[in-house]
Copies of this chain bind each other. A is one copy, B any other.
Amino acid sequence: MNTTKKVAIGVDVGGTNTAIGVVDPEGNVMIKDNIPTATHGNFEKFIEDLATAIQGQIASAKLLNENLEFLGVGIGAPNGNYYSGTIEYAPNLSFKGVLHFVKLIRNYFPEMPALALTNDANAAAIGEMIYGGARDMKNFVMYTLGTGVGSGVVVNGDLVYGHDGFAGECGHTTLIPGGRLCGCGALGHLEAYCSAPGMKRTAFELMVQYNATDSLLANKSYNELDSKMIYDAAVAGDFVAKLVFEKTGHWLGQGLADTVHHLSPEAIFLFGGPTAAGDLIFKPTIESMEKHLLPIFKNKIKVLPSQLKPGDAAIVGASALVWQELKK
């Protein structure tokens, strides 16, 4: 006689593709699939097609193990609002305005115990708490470094959504007053310095500063250069590339210190492409954070790499919402 195995479904809504996966209680993706996000005509049709894809995943997963019990669907989406289950004015989605995601998908899964939505970085933070390095922590913060910089804040074991569902946008704190133009239109935000494109901007700023014609990065156009090339050049000993990591860490550490002064978390987790550089980024980040901290906070806040696996993190994080919902 087989016993039931409880699983959760994670959905990661991106501008181009939406990924769907079935995740076990240890955070392993048992099976996953993709559908395009933008080609469905309208949002209602997208939800219908997504529901069909989810039902397909459920059927496929049951072929692998007929005793699966599906506890819910967790959705990570840009500008996702946990309270209302809506996506609101997401700049990178083709669907505009306020989208009633949870309400619409509920029609297709009337019996599913948990259906919940939040933004990608909040989902990643919950993923870290349910499956990753924050399993024993009640107070921590997650920074996700990628095209942008997202964050998720956990206080007393609960994700902080704020009064409107949108808390945890630490990427938009001001690092340099009057500094670089951020994608959001404001000046000097952390995201304009510590995201992957921010690192590219820093590389060009440094080449300008030092007229670094002999840098390994000096033969790439502004549109060609990416953070992986900067990493490879740093490993090869390139002066400019190494300094990019130094400066990025310096800026990120300043931002992390601001977060510590607000929340005094046990740890701050870093997730995303640039964090794969290990000590190159962690060392200057930690040094800078410590320098900016009040004495009572010095040498006690951990800065740690996320334990979520890069490829599956978005699906896994979204699925973690389901377990978190069912705890309540």
B-facing mask of A308-326, CB < 8 A → 1, else 0? 0000000000000000000
Query: Is the contact region of chain A dominated by helix, strand, or loop, or is it mixed?
Result: loop
Q: What copy number does this chain have within its complex?
A: 2
| CB of A57 closer than 8 Å to a CB of B | no
B-facing mask of A147-169, CB < 8 A → 1, else 0? 00000010110101111111111
User: Is the pair A262, B89 in contact by a Cβ cutoff of 8 Å?
Assistant: no
| CB of A110 closer than 8 Å to a CB of B | no
Q: A295-B185, A296-B89 are in contact. Are A162 and B258 (CB under 8 A)?
A: no
A173: chain B residues at CB < 8 Å are: 257-258, 261-262
A293: chain B residues at CB < 8 Å are: 172, 186
Q: A185-B295, A254-B174, A292-B186 are in contact. Are A263 and B89 (CB under 8 A)?
A: no
User: Is the pair B160, A263 in contact by a Cβ cutoff of 8 Å?
Assistant: yes
B-facing mask of A243-278, CB < 8 A → 1, else 0? 000000000001001110111111000000000000
- Select from chain B the residue with minimum beta-carbon distance to A88: B296
User: Is the pair A265, B162 in contact by a Cβ cutoff of 8 Å?
Assistant: yes
Partner among B79, B169, B171, B258 whose Cβ is within 8 Å of the Cβ of A174: B258
Q: How far does the Cβ of A324 sit from chain B's closest Cβ, in whole Å?
A: 14
User: Is the pair B153, A263 in contact by a Cβ cutoff of 8 Å?
Assistant: yes
Q: How far does the Cβ of A186 sit from chain B's closest Cβ, in whole Å?
A: 6
| CB of A184 closer than 8 Å to a CB of B | yes
**A-B contacts besides A137-B163, A174-B258, 6 pairs, CB < 8 Å:** A165-B264, A169-B262, A174-B292, A177-B254, A185-B295, A262-B263
- 9 A-B pairs within 8 Å (CB atoms) are namely A156-B158, A163-B264, A166-B296, A167-B263, A169-B261, A169-B262, A172-B294, A186-B293, A258-B258
